[in-house]
Chain A
Amino acid sequence: LAKTTQPISMDSYEGQEVNITCSHNNIATNDYITWYQQFPSQGPRFIIQGYKTKVTNEVASLFIPADRKSSTLSLPRVSLSDTAVYYCLVGRSNDYKLSFGAGTTVTVRA
């Protein structure tokens, strides 16, 4: 099971871009990289998933270098409502051994 390392916390201001990097040195060939977002008093919510290169959706972008040993979640022009905990997971999505670490607490200030 690939272990992930991500910063404990990050601060930002409204309108800025937030980039969270996750390290996963022992990622396996079949593993995907998935990010979840969790607001207080709610369950985690899927935001983006990728295997290699770049993936973009209406919420975020995910950048994955060729060696796949790390990935960066990019949140463009954050607002106060983006304050949340962001989790990086590595594995197959149907791998019931997926591990949610402590995540990265992103605090957006006015």
Chain B
Amino acid sequence: NAGVTQTPKFRVLKTGQSMTLLCAQDMNHEYMYWYRQDPGMGLRLIHYSVGEGTTAKGEVPDGYNVSRLKKQNFLLGLESAAPSQTSVYFCASDSGLSNQPQHFGDGTRLSIL
């Protein structure tokens, strides 16, 4: 009964380094999302996907790229990390059907030095 799993849970990077955050869901959901959450703020949508092989920009896409090569996985990439990208990143998924809620992972805490 895993739901949405995010790896890694914590990571510290130096400015300019790259990394990929992995999100995996076992609920056969069509839609997947990446959010970031900064202190005292709600979640802001970075990118989302409405199906395998498709991605789209959300509210704050700059500095990030995503891929959805397999239905169950949604990857978030930082090509050249910046201190402004220090945040907690959440992945979510849902079935894409009306009225079905999003299911969230427990987040990846990323610090950029």
Residues on A facing B (Cβ under 8 Å): 32, 34, 36, 41-46, 49, 87, 92-94, 96-103
Contacts and interface: CB of A to CB of B under 8 A. Distances in A.
B48 interface: yes
Given A93-B101, A97-B45, A99-B45, 11 more contacts: A41-B107, A43-B90, A44-B43, A44-B102, A46-B101, A93-B94, A93-B99, A93-B100, A94-B100, A96-B48, A103-B42
B98 A94 contact: yes
B42 A94 contact: no
B82 interface: no
Contacts of A94: 31, 94-100
Interface residues of B, number: 31
Contact of A96 (B44, B45, B104): B45
A102 B92 contact: no
B42 A101 contact: yes
B22 interface: no
Interface of B: 4, 31, 33, 35, 40-45, 48, 50, 56, 58-59, 90, 92, 94-107
B9 to A, nearest CB: 10
Contacts of A100: 35, 42-44
6 contacts: A43-B90, A46-B103, A93-B102, A94-B100, A100-B44, A102-B40
B102 A46 contact: yes
Contact of A99 (B42, B48, B92): B42
B52 to A, nearest CB: 16
B105 to A, nearest CB: 5
Contacts of B41: 102
